[in-house]
Amino acid sequence: MKKVLILGSTGSIGESTLNIIRQFPEKFKVTGLVAGKNSRKLKEQIDEFKPEAVATLDTSFKPVVKTYYQEEGILQLIKEIEFDIVVAAISGAAGIVPTYEAAKKAKRVALANKESLVCAGMFIKKVAKEIIPVDSEHSAVFQALLAGKKEEVKEIILTASGGPFRGKKKEDLQNITPENALNHPNWNMGSKVTIDSATLMNKGLEVIEAMWLFDIPVKKIKVVIHPQSIVHSMVRFKDNSFIAQMGKPDMRIPIAYALSYPERLNLNEELSMDYTQINLTFEKPDTETFKCLNLAYKSIEKGYPYPIILNAADEIAVDSFLKREIPFLSIPEIVEKTMEILNLQPPETIEDVIRIDKIARETAKKLVENHAN
């Protein structure tokens, strides 16, 4: 029986994780839940899974279970409860410090918060005993790498669906609304990840995450557009063998693997697919129209703290787009200008990461305000 703490329990990853745990009550026990402000959903989770304690950003929420509040309360809960596995699924930079603190204590980090490694990979890798990726692409690479030795890897190929605007050019994207961008063809994800998928920033962040997860130079990490989202990623070895992991585009599959590794759970047939109907195609990404992918590579080329700046500026730009303060095509512009303006020293502590993140956000917010004016 493994004890599980879920950071971000009311989000899409958190709910999918609980869906898996619900099916295997003899294998997993939820000891802690951390949520934002969705108190109705959190109460339902408490009633069903009966954790030892919960943490929430909603200070008016008063359940019968022991409850901690706000960011300080999340860290207090991590210190005080027992857990073997932490599912790190708080969205965005807000998940960095909780993931870092939980990684010190957990036997395993089931990592869904890519921003933790993008911004603080050098610190989290030092304290984590084991990291198993939850992102479908990184889970695929993790599994494919089992087919060979690390020194035999020629390249990692991350697949991207291309999002809702695959094949479009800049002139086609002038009047894109948040509703258009949130209409992902294959995946059901949170709004931030879905917009990042539409701009290809999600894939850029995944390139940086892969660099930390697999300890591989960024020049060996490639991206290919694969609209069917069946091949979740591939590894090419030095003998030019390609090992690919395939499956239905459903996050419950990589979540289950991250919870149960090295074993595999016997999942429902609904997660299977009819392989006789599969048609696979691959395309080069259009980085002229979708500049965010190149901006991510550029941030690594420039070195830290630029990946932190990239991520912070993107979070502000995406939020501003969702609030209809800037157009869709201004998202990469805000990110690029923030990276050009700031000249900061590399972080030496996790506190430095948070400080740089804050400065980058403030800079990006000013650029958004100037754009609106």
Structure tokens that stand for 213 in this block: 């997860």
Tell me how far apart the alpha carbons of residues 346 and 357 are, in angstroms, rounded to a whole number.
Answer: 12
Tell me the C-alpha distance between 283 and 274, whole Å: 23
137 annotated as belonging to a binding site for a ligand:
yes
The two structure tokens encoding residue 309: 């700046």
**Residue 161 among known ligand-binding residues:** yes
- Is there a binding annotation on residue 38? yes
The answer on whether 184 is annotated among ligand-binding residues is yes
85 in a labelled binding site = no
Residue 248 is labelled as binding a ligand: no
Largest CA distance in the chain: 60
Nearby residues of 194 by Cβ (< 8 Å), 6 or more positions away: 163, 181, 182, 184, 187
Q: Is 8 annotated as a binding residue?
A: no
Cβ(93)–Cβ(347) below 8 Å: no
Element housing 4 (H / E): strand 2-7
* Separation CA 293–CA 303 (nearest Å): 16
Q: Is 301 annotated as a binding residue?
A: no
The answer to whether 156 and 221 are in contact (CB under 8 A) is: yes
Does 135 belong to an annotated binding site?
yes
* Residue 219 is assigned to a ligand binding site: no
Residue 129 in marked binding region: no
Assign residue 226 a region (left: φ > 0; alpha: ψ between -120 and 50; beta: otherwise).
beta
105 appears as a binding residue in the annotation: no
Residue 91 assigned ligand-binding role = no
Could you tell me the end-to-end alpha-carbon distance of the chain, in angstroms, rounded to an integer?
A: 57
The answer to whether the beta carbons of residues 39 and 26 sit under 8 Å apart is no
Q: For the chain, how many residues are written?
A: 373
**Cβ count near 88 (within 10 Å):** 32
Residue with tokens 């991520």: 311
- Residue 93 CA to residue 196 CA, distance in Å, equals 14
Residue partners of 121: CB distance under 8 A and separation at least 6: 208, 209, 211, 212
The answer to whether the annotation marks 206 as part of a ligand binding site is: yes
Known binder of ligand: residue 126? no
| 242-246 and 231-237 strand pairing | antiparallel
Name every residue whose Cβ is closer than 8 Å to that of residue 237 and which is 6 or more positions away in sequence: 147, 148, 152, 153, 154, 243
Q: Is 11 annotated as a binding residue?
A: yes
Q: How far apart are CA 37 and CA 11, in angstroms?
A: 11
Binding-site residue numbers are 10-13, 36-38, 113-115, 135-137, 161, 184, 190, 197, 202-203, 206
Binding-site residue numbers for 1-deoxy-D-xylulose 5-phosphate are 114, 136-137, 161, 184, 197, 202-203, 206
Binding-site residue numbers for NADPH are 10-13, 36-38, 113, 115, 190
Binding-site residue numbers for Mn(2+) are 135, 137, 206
